[in-house]
């Protein structure tokens, strides 16, 4: 497996037109950018290139316009902000205005690379998609990963290939079937798994506990049973909550043990579980966290996520957080500066941990300068 070229592997960039695939998929409200973090995050790579005399053309998707131009997803606001932060840097129109982007159409790749000399991928959050702007340009142009992407790859492949032990993965959130693949892959490298959020109910159900009307995926119960057996056989602990918080059948706030009565819904791990999960995090040397422990958007159900976030901030372990909602929870508790790495890609970080590679990285490895 050849290595992934870095910016230095582009050689002399002076006078070259460089297409930089950025992730400018910023949160917007009525045409106004509510958080420009993703634009600012792209500046180190953009500045690296412009300081060395390159002309930078950036390109990104924004939202899901489904292959057609849609003023709601126009890049105008992003372009205006970028002009303030990096004068003279171009930004193409929303890549997903053209069906060729998601369809990886060679004609769209040709359009993107017309007049372009080199390509840089700095959009980690899109690297798990074989879209035109991700996998197309490296087939013909000297290419490299940008500084953001390079950091993501170093951190996440480091976790996968050479973590300091004990290595603990904390998983939660609501996308259960999406994440069970990574649970299985993580069982190979972690010493323990901690499972909260809506994800815990499919596991609790697989263990025979009653879960009331909590969110769960019945067709994943067998998979959870298999994963529980696999972990037991390999001596790895899967920590599940033994107390829960939610609402009873009448919709009133309630606390429960591991079993929920009929009609009840679990929306958070209980205080005992949150304390137990924190202890596991404090004793670890590496922790990867993806997925909130509960419905933290509702203040009644944020305590479990807050306690785990605080343990992530307090532990001496090397701490990595992936997932849009997990990152949002950390930011809500103002703890985002207290962990070692917050990944910009939810799906991409899980897929990289699970498979050890992504379509966008494979494409860069195949570039003519690699
Ligand atoms: P991430 O974006 O970090 O990968 P997910 O998208 O998988 O995480 O899940 C985040 C969502 O999961 C949040 O909106 C949260 O409200 C929800 N969630 C967490 N626990 C529960 C629960 N017990 N019941 C319902 N929803 C939950
Ligand atoms: Mg999410």
Atom index in ligand 1 nearest the CA of residue 290 equals: 3
Give the C-alpha separation, 257 to 365, whole Å: 50
Q: The CATH number of the domain where 210 resides is what?
A: 3.40.50.1260
10 in contact with ligand 1, CB cutoff 6 A: no
Domain assignment present for 1: no
pLDDT value at 54 more than 80: yes
Domain assignment present for 352: no
- Active-site position among 16, 38, 129, 258: 38
> Is 171 found in the same domain as 130?
no
Atom index in ligand 1 nearest the CA of residue 324 equals: 2
Domain assignment present for 328: no
Atom index in ligand 1 nearest the CA of residue 297 equals: 16
> Is 142 found in the same domain as 20?
yes
282: domain range?
165-316
Q: What is the pLDDT of residues 87-97, one digit of tens each?
A: 999 999 999 99
322 in contact with ligand 1, CB cutoff 6 A: no
Give the three-class secondary structure for 189. Answer: helix
pLDDT value at 216 more than 50: yes
pLDDT value at 138 more than 70: yes
Residue of the nearest CA to atom 15 in ligand 1? 295
State the average pLDDT for the chain: 96
pTM of the model: 0.92
Contacts of 154 (CB under 8 A, 6+ apart): none
What proportion of the chain, given as a percentage, has pLDDT over 90? 93
Domain assignment present for 349: no
pLDDT value at 69 more than 50: yes
When divided into structural domains, the chain yields a total of 2
270 in contact with ligand 1, CB cutoff 6 A: no
Specify the pLDDT at position 284.
Answer: 98
With tokens 């004609």, the residue in question is 107
C-alpha 370 chain-centroid distance? 26
Give the C-alpha separation, 14 to 25, whole Å: 29
Give the C-alpha separation, 88 to 160, whole Å: 39
Q: Quick check: is 316 catalytic?
A: no
Ligand 2 centroid to Cα of residue 215, in Å, is 15
Specify the pLDDT at position 204.
Answer: 97
> Is 129 found in the same domain as 94?
yes
pLDDT value at 311 more than 50: yes
């Amino acid at each position: 497996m050849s290595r992934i070229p870095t910016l230095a592997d582009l050689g002399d960039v002076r006078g070259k037109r460089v297409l930089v695939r950025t992730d400018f998929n910023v949160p917007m409200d009525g045409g106004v950018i509510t958080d420009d973090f993703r634009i600012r995050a792209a500046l180190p790579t953009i500045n690296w290139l412009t300081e060395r005399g390159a002309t930078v053309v950036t390109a990104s998707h924004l939202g899901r316009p489904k292959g057609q131009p849609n003023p709601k997803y126009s890049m105008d606001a992003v372009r205006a902000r970028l002009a303030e932060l990096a004068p003279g840097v171009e930004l193409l129109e929303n890549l997903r205005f053209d069906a060729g982007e998601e369809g990886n159409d060679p004609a769209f790749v040709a359009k993107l690379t017309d007049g372009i000399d080199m390509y840089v991928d700095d959009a980690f959050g899109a690297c798990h998609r074989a879209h035109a702007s991700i996998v197309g340009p490296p087939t013909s142009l000297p290419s490299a990963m940008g500084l953001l992407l390079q950091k993501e790859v170093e951190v996440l492949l480091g976790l996968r290939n050479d973590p300091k032990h004990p290595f603990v993965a904390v998983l939660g959130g609501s996308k259960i079937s999406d994440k069970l693949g990574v649970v299985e892959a993580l069982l190979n490298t972690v010493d323990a798994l901690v499972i909260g959020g809506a994800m815990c109910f499919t596991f609790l159900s697989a263990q025979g506990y009653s879960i009331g009307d909590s969110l769960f995926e019945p067709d994943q119960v067998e998979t959870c049973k298999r994963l529980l057996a696999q972990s037991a056989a390999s001596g790895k602990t899967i920590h599940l909550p033994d107390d829960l918080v939610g609402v009873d059948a009448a919709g009133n706030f309630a606390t429960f043990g591991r079993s929920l009565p009929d009609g009840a819904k679990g929306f958070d791990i209980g205080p005992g579980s949150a304390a137990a999960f924190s202890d596991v995090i404090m004793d670890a040397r590496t922790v990867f966290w993806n997925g909130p422990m509960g419905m933290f958007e509702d203040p009644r159900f944020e305590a479990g996520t807050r306690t785990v976030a605080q343990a992530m901030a307090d532990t001496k372990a090397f701490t990595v957080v992936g997932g849009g909602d997990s990152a949002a929870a950390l930011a809500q508790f103002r703890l985002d500066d207290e962990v070692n790495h917050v990944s910009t890609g939810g799906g991409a970080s899980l897929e990289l941990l699970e498979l050890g590679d992504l379509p966008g990285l494979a494409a860069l490895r195949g570039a003519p300068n690699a």
